[in-house]
Structure 1
Amino acid sequence: MKKWFIFITSLLLLSACSQPPHFDSPIYSGEALTIGIVGEPPNVREKNISFIPLSMEDVLKKNFQNVDAVLIHKRYLKEAAKPPYADVYLQSPVPFVFIESEKVYLAFVDRELSYEKAHQMKSGDYFIGFYKDTYFGVGLYNHIKNEKTIQDGYSRLFALLERAKHTGKIIVQ
């Protein structure tokens, strides 16, 4: 009987440890945002977010005047870190967000630093961004990468971008 008790207790503990803990994940309910996206638009829960496809050429030509922010997908990060883009990010009137970068934000704003030679990011942020001389990051809940935590990350990112739109600066809460 004691062996069965230990066996069942062990199974319950193992199954409890394999499930991510519950966390509150509010959906962004602020004002509508229009976001330029280089790459595929993400799957988000919000209905008040519009994505406008952009190319890296659009970024270089600064064809992003009608958006509240620009997101650049992981697939385009090496190109996005090339020297001609640094001035675009440094002078941009909207925040730039780099999705799933393995490198620190300096890879994008330092003309002398390539993506390959930039330091590895240690913060674990899923989104890193730059806006008006300010670096910012948004991580995933407990650094767990799944659909729920990614969607939660987008919701928190949208709230940050809305505050930037109204205040002209990044305010992390």
Structure 2
Amino acid sequence: MRKLFIIVILMFFVSYLIHKANEGANFHSPVYSGRELKIGIVGDIPNIRENNVSFIQMSLEDVLQKKFVTKVDSVFITKKHLKEAAEPQYAKIYWESPIPFVFIDSEKVYLAFLDDQLSYEDAHTIKSGDYVVGFHKDTYFGIGLYNNIRNEKTIQDCYSRLFVIIERFKNTGKILIK
């Protein structure tokens, strides 16, 4: 009887693990199909599904020198560069930028990048679950992962939704989130 109980518990545990491994894999995630976008990126280029989005590698020095202004529709800064991107000399650039800045996989709220008196370490931790946080002029936006599940499909879905926001900005000059 004890062996049967152990087998039943073990089968339950294995089926639970299989369910958790597949969680988030079966949701509808439309691919961005809008106008062509050019995105400046500080860091590694993400694995996306879109063919109408191209990335232009940049450095934070390029951001300081404002080399992005006429070349791209938005600038993304990846996790590896966030601490440096939160240094005081960048805050004014983000505030005055004619295009949105997007911070990928930040553990800190967007104010870490906009408040030149606040270090990345001292900024509040994001509690919203947003995977990307973006900013343009006086508008902040965040996009989370589907059900807070971190896998390739949910990350690609997050980028697809982000590209829609960037396209709306490109068309209107405003951050519009539906």
- Structure 1 and Structure 2 fold alike (TM over 0.5): yes
> What value does the CA root-mean-square deviation take over the aligned residues?
1.8
Q: Does 1:52 align with 2:56?
A: yes
- The AA in structure 2 aligned to 1:20 is E
Q: In the alignment, is residue 79 of structure 1 matched against residue 79 of structure 2?
A: no
TM-score with structure 2 length normalisation? Answer: 0.89
Shift of 1:16: 3.5
Alignment of 1:34 with 2:35, yes or no, is no
How many correspondences in the alignment? 170
Match of 1:149 in 2: 154
% identical aligned pairs: 60
Distance, in Å, in 2 between the alignment partners of 1:12 and 1:112 is 50
Q: How big is each residue's C-alpha offset from its partner over 1:141-173, in whole Å with a ceiling of 9 and x where there is no partner?
A: 011111111001100000011001111111111
**Offset from partner CA, 1:101-122 (integer Å, 9 cap, x none):** 0000000001111101100110
Q: 1:12 to 1:115 in 2, by over 3 A?
A: closer
After the TM superposition, which segments of 4 or more aligned residues of structure 1 sit over 6 Å from their partners?
none
In structure 2, the partner of 1:19 is 22
Query: How far did 1:18 drift?
Result: 4.5
Judged with a 3 Å threshold, the aligned counterparts in structure 2 of structure 1 residues 17 and 108 are, in CA distance, closer, same or farther, namely closer
Distance 1:16 1:59 in 2: 43
Question: Could you tell me how far apart the structure 2 residues matched to 1:60 and 1:19 are?
Answer: 43
Which structure 2 residue ranges, 5 or more long, are not aligned? none
5+ long unaligned stretches in structure 1: none
Structure 1 partner of 2:8: 7
TM-score calculated relative to the size of structure 1: 0.92
For 1:134-173, list aligned pairs within 5 A: 134-173=139-178
